[in-house]
Amino acid sequence: MDSKMLRLTPTKSQSDKRQYRWLKLQNELEAAASLCVRCGHLWNPPQVQGLAHFLEHMLFLGTEKYPIENSFQAFVKENGGSLNAYTSYEETCFHFEVGKDSLMPSLDRFSQFFICPTFTQSATDREMNAVNSEFEGNRNSDSWRYTAISHSIAEPSHPYSQFVVGNLKSLRDDPKDKGIDVRAFLIDFYNKYYSANVMKLCVLGNETLDELEAMVTPMFAPVVNRNISKLYPTHHQFFPHLPEKVFDLHELLKRPDYQPHRIVFPQEKCTPGWYNMVPKSDTNSLRLSWPCKTTLHEYETKPERYLGHLLGHEATGSLFALLKRLGWVTQLVAGNFGNVADVSMFCCNVALTLQGKDKVKEIITMIYQYLNLLKSQPPQEWVFEELRAMMQMDFNFLEKNSSGSHTRELSSRMQQYPPKDILSGPYLVHDWDAGSIDRLLNELTPENMLIIVTSKDFEGSPGLKAEQWFGAEYEPVKIDGDFFEGLKHLEPNGQFSIPVPNPFIPKDFTLNPEETTPHPQLIVDTPLLSLFWRNDNRFNMPKTHLMILVRPEISTKSDVDIVQFMSDESYSSPMNAAMITIFAQLCSDSLNEELSYYAELAGLAFHLSFCFEGLQLEATGYSEKVGVVVEQIVERMSKFQVKEERYRILKEQIMRDWDNQKTENGTRRAQSLCMETIFEKYWSSQQKRDALTDVTFEDLQRFIPKLLGRLKVVSLVQGSMRKSHAVQLLNNVIHSLNGPKPLLPAQIPERRIIKLTKGCNYYHLSNISNEHDKNSTIWSFYNAGIKSLRLCVLVELLANIMEVPLYNTLRTQEQLGYIVTSLHQSHVNTIGISVVIQSHHTAPTGLDARVEAFFSSFKESLDRITEEELQSYVKSLRSIKSQKFHKLGEEIGFNWLEICSREYFFDRKKKFVEELSRVSKSDLVELYDVMILNRETRRKISWHVYGCDREISSLEELMTSLSGNSEGHKELRRGPTQRGKIEGGPTVQLIRSGQEYLFRRELPYYPIGEKKE
Ligand SMILES: [Zn+2]
């Protein structure tokens, strides 16, 4: 082989300062820390479905060189990193991030995954439970259920039709019945398909490229190259005439006789097809898709981008604009979703309104009318040129990704693109090729369509059948012959047109020449406006990010008929919260056709939303145009006239979204219950939903002018924008708000959290709302008190030290469930540690007992920790905190929090690192004792969410479980906040769902320190 071919520099973005080298090792494993193996679900043997995913889990559980389970995870965490893995149809990808000095030892441990995993019998038997818990956790998710249905629709002899996640049935019970030794299958699978020639490795480090190459080459050289084909094992059963070993997929795809999409979804057998599906949540949707030959090999012309751009356009004349005006849909997306098994699914997915769900045939008809408009004229080169310019601009000013996501993405792209295009492949288009557009367009026909309609309306229909793994209910529908024939001969629809040229594409990419400021500076400070500005050219981006918070006064005193809960405090009612939410959404909605959709395409994104303090507008994009967009939005907001029809549709949609949060999983539920319980003011989605029910169109009309009458604007402008330009822009914003009056300082809303009584154990008990979800969850929070810099440092460090041992004990050893995690958590001005566990086989009281047992045993580990070990944790946390922000958006988020909390501690991270060097072991042991272990001093509150098949424990049962016996308990109080005392032990208090306010009445709040403004 020509030695020049062994090294290559891929095309990179002009803003990208990293250096790259693509190289080919002797064993054909390519080096660039993420390793991607071309072996995924489609490689699963039919006897052990879910094996590829199970293997992904097993590689973390010991290698010959490093036999201890999860030892790689422990090492990476100790060194400031994180790791994960995923399995998809065609690949399994393992990736990690680590502190910059630990790359070499991490890579050494990582490489062993692909050289000598042990697959012990004991780990094999246990880890199936983790996969099963993962399955149980996703069982009620509609997107998983939809995917499972799409598998059942496909050709049954194709591996695409199989179960992908795996559970105890597919991994343990079914194989056992057939006398299959799963561990032997696992080892055989690994030996067959984990071959160097189908692995792509991407390594990123601070070393020079030569050093990296010298480090990586010997480490991965022992990975065996079995020289296997890149096609999944059953491929030759479907394409017997193809060469035995295929290494170049792009070449293969160019062959006209290679049509895998026709094998996965054979025409006349699978398409045209219509299925109705019953969802778990209350959503109505239509997914129209066309299985097409993959466009992977046409990445230089990207015909799917052109078609997706036009079919999914939202401006005047578009398909979406008309469907929205008719009140039938709330969202439409079109494009290529998922290249699986060499199939491109070109889709047009719409979210339906209540009215729209009865208009499915009409909507399908209109989709074809729009496609006919595109077919009636040759592809437009100017549309392509505009797209090309926007994609080139995106690529030139690509924001830097975190090292972890960057390597993960690249290792996967290395499977898809030739080396020179690994960086630019997904972004750039080279040649105008009208032929490829026409080819794709001609595949989008009624004969080739797959329709899936989702709605609760289909519940109880006699033709329903259950998909075998998830139990997802669906029904095949016979397509009405007249309707189908009609689709082939449609009249043109005069309301459709091709979009006009985009007015927001920027031309000026120069950077602001003013001096860079280290932190946001307060440059305007009046009763109406606080403006923070930072000129920031570190990222070389001609972009600016703006945050604008409008804190309104929402006086409700005079409107007895509107507001039920009367109060002169701003956010005191769920109805106000609901009305601001709907106002924000109506405004955004009204801007879409003429303004925001075009702006978004040109790289200008904005988001108007309800937040605790009022209305928040976030805008980001190229500095030349971002101000223009912001001014137009505020102008619209201040003169906003609600249209009754849109009000009705959005209200229905928001209420449904809030309602659907009832089907959220246990972890999400525990999280929102946490807010509801300990925050002084927090309205749950259910409360806002109930309040919105009574809001009429007239109520909202009266509410809006009041909303913006008295207010305070707080803003942060950061990026590449002149100081004078920022001041002018915000002055224009205030001006267009029609001369508002300033808020009084005392009217600025404050958030407070409850102060738990020391030594009392609070338990909030509730059922999961989803009546089919068997998972139980506990979320326990141990509050350490008001956060000082020192307390934050200690809590975060302790959380880091505890994380891996907790995971190791409660998940890997005890197999309590898939979700086992601990984290430091800040609530308003306090900080503490939370532990979260979700399990489908153990009740919350049992989980709580296991956590307590772990805490007792962890005490010894903490006592035994050496100074050297402590320093390695300190170093790890220091390396995390010393990391610079990778992109503008991350830093804005951080600064904005400092501004909204009015702490203005912009160099928090730097001070944190300084404080870290002053931590001693005795500080940590003391904190652990006071915050977690000592039942007299700790402030613990625990949310127990019971799975659907469990009864909530009584106080007596809970006390028995806590004390280990049923003797000597005393009940101190009855009622919704029932309380008891364990003899010689702690007090226990129960809080029942819906009674959180009663509990809060009894307790004080943490005081809020003095704040500026
Ligand atoms: Zn998994």
The ranges assigned to domains in the chain are 3-238, 249-399+420-488, 521-747, 760-1001
pLDDT tens-digit series, residues 7-48: 567 777 776 766 676 655 444 334 348 999 999 999 999 999
Centroid of ligand 1 to alpha carbon of 33 (angstroms) = 19
Q: Is the pLDDT of residue 389 over 60?
A: yes
Whether 199 contacts 27, CB under 8 Å: no
pLDDT tens-digit series, residues 159-203: 999 999 999 999 999 999 999 999 999 999 999 999 999 999 999
Give the model's pLDDT for residue 741.
85
Residue spans of alpha helices (H) in 419-462: 434-441
* CA distance to 721, 722, 746, 904, 1012, per residue, from 530 (Å): 17, 17, 16, 13, 11
Q: Which fold has domain 521-747?
A: Cytochrome Bc1 Complex; Chain A, domain 1 (3.30.830)
Centroid of ligand 1 to alpha carbon of 39 (angstroms) = 15
Give the model's pLDDT for residue 32.
40
Whether residue 56 lies in the annotated active site: yes
- Domain 249-399+420-488: CATH superfamily is Metalloenzyme, LuxS/M16 peptidase-like (3.30.830.10)
CA atoms of 106 and 96, how far apart (whole Å): 9
Centroid of ligand 1 to alpha carbon of 658 (angstroms) = 29
Q: Is the pLDDT of residue 564 over 80?
A: no
Q: Is the pLDDT of residue 656 over 50?
A: yes
| Neighbour count for residue 905 (Cβ, 10 Å) | 12
CA angle 202, 205, 209 (to 5 degrees): 80
Class of domain 3-238: alpha beta
**Residue with tokens 């007299």, as numbered in its chain:** 936
> Which of 124, 131, 194, 201 lies closest to 166 in space, CA to CA?
131
In the structure, ligand 1 is a single-atom ion and the residues with CB under 5 Å from it are: 134
**Residue with tokens 């590829």, as numbered in its chain:** 52
pLDDT band at 960 (very low <50, low <70, confident <90, very high): confident
pLDDT band at 566 (very low <50, low <70, confident <90, very high): very low
Average the pLDDT over 404-423 and give the result.
Answer: 91
Centroid of ligand 1 to alpha carbon of 73 (angstroms) = 15
pLDDT band at 563 (very low <50, low <70, confident <90, very high): very low
Whether 677 contacts 783, CB under 8 Å: no
Whether 446 contacts 272, CB under 8 Å: yes
Q: Which fold has domain 760-1001?
A: Cytochrome Bc1 Complex; Chain A, domain 1 (3.30.830)
Centroid of ligand 1 to alpha carbon of 342 (angstroms) = 24
Residue 122 gets the label, from left (phi > 0), alpha (psi -120 to 50) or beta, of alpha
pLDDT tens-digit series, residues 848-878: 999 999 999 999 999 999 999 999 899 889 8
CA atoms of 290 and 346, how far apart (whole Å): 5
Give the model's pLDDT for residue 1012.
55
Question: What is the side-by-side strand order in the sheet with 329-340?
Answer: 329-340, 343-352, 285-293, 450-454, 273-277, 473-476, 465-466
Centroid of ligand 1 to alpha carbon of 746 (angstroms) = 50
Centroid of ligand 1 to alpha carbon of 88 (angstroms) = 11
pLDDT band at 572 (very low <50, low <70, confident <90, very high): low
Q: What is the DSSP code (8-state) at residue 375?
A: H
Whether 560 contacts 578, CB under 8 Å: no
User: Strands 473-476 and 465-466: what pairing?
Assistant: antiparallel
Residue spans of alpha helices (H) in 243-285: 249-254, 260-264
Rg (CA), the chain: 30
* CA distance to 111, 670, 839, 855, 1000, per residue, from 836 (Å): 31, 9, 10, 14, 23
Give the model's pLDDT for residue 712.
87
Centroid of ligand 1 to alpha carbon of 426 (angstroms) = 27
Amino acid at 491: E
Centroid of ligand 1 to alpha carbon of 131 (angstroms) = 6
CA atoms of 928 and 407, how far apart (whole Å): 37
Give the model's pLDDT for residue 540.
80
Whether 97 contacts 82, CB under 8 Å: yes
Q: Is the pLDDT of residue 565 over 70?
A: no
Amino acid at 480: D
> Which of 165, 196, 175, 156 lies closest to 87 in space, CA to CA?
165
CA atoms of 669 and 659, how far apart (whole Å): 13
Q: Is the pLDDT of residue 751 over 70?
A: yes
Cis amide leading into 1007 (omega within 30): no
Helix (H, G, I), strand (E, B) or coil at 837: strand
Centroid of ligand 1 to alpha carbon of 140 (angstroms) = 16
Give the model's pLDDT for residue 23.
57
Task: Note whether 521-747 and 760-1001 share their fold.
Answer: yes
What percent of the chain stands above pLDDT 70? Answer: 95
Whether 20 contacts 95, CB under 8 Å: no
**Of 28, 30, 56, 915, which one is the catalytic site residue?**
56
Q: Residue 776: enclosing H or E segment and its boundaries?
A: strand 776-786
pLDDT tens-digit series, residues 971-1000: 888 887 899 988 888 889 999 988 898 999
Amino acid at 954: S
Return the sign of the alpha-carbon dihedral for residues 464, 466, 467, 468.
negative
Highest mean pLDDT of the ranges 26-35, 528-537, 546-555, 570-579: 528-537
Centroid of ligand 1 to alpha carbon of 711 (angstroms) = 49
pLDDT band at 571 (very low <50, low <70, confident <90, very high): low
CA angle 473, 474, 478 (to 5 degrees): 160
